[in-house]
Chain A
Amino acid sequence: AQSVTQLGSHVSVSEGALVLLRCNYSSSVPPYLFWYVQYPNQGLQLLLKYTTGATLVKGINGFEAEFKKSETSFHLTKPSAHMSDAAEYFCAVPSNFGNEKLTFGTGTRLTIIP
Chain B
Amino acid sequence: GAGVSQSPRYKVAKRGQDVALRCDPISGHVSLFWYQQALGQGPEFLTYFQNEAQLDKSGLPSDRFFAERPEGSVSTLKIQRTQQEDSAVYLCASSLNRGNQPQHFGDGTRLSIL
Mark A residues whose CB is within 8 Å of B.
31-32, 34, 36, 41-46, 49, 51, 90, 92, 95, 98-107
Contacts and interface: CB of A to CB of B under 8 A. Distances in A.
Nearest to A50: B100
A34 B102 contact: yes
Of the listed residues B100, B107, B108, the one surrounded by the most CB atoms of chain A closer than 10 A to its CB is B100
A44 B41 contact: no
A101 B42 contact: no
A100 B102 contact: no
A85 to B, nearest CB: 19
Interface stretch (B12-20, B43-51, B64-72, B77-85): B43-51
Contact of B56 (A46, A101, A103, A105): A101
Given A41-B107, A100-B31, A51 B100 contact: yes
Nearest to A91: B42
Contacts of B48: 100-101
A97 to B, nearest CB: 11
B100 A31 contact: yes
B91 interface: yes
Contact of A105 (B31, B42, B108): B42
A114 to B, nearest CB: 25
A98 B55 CA distance: 13
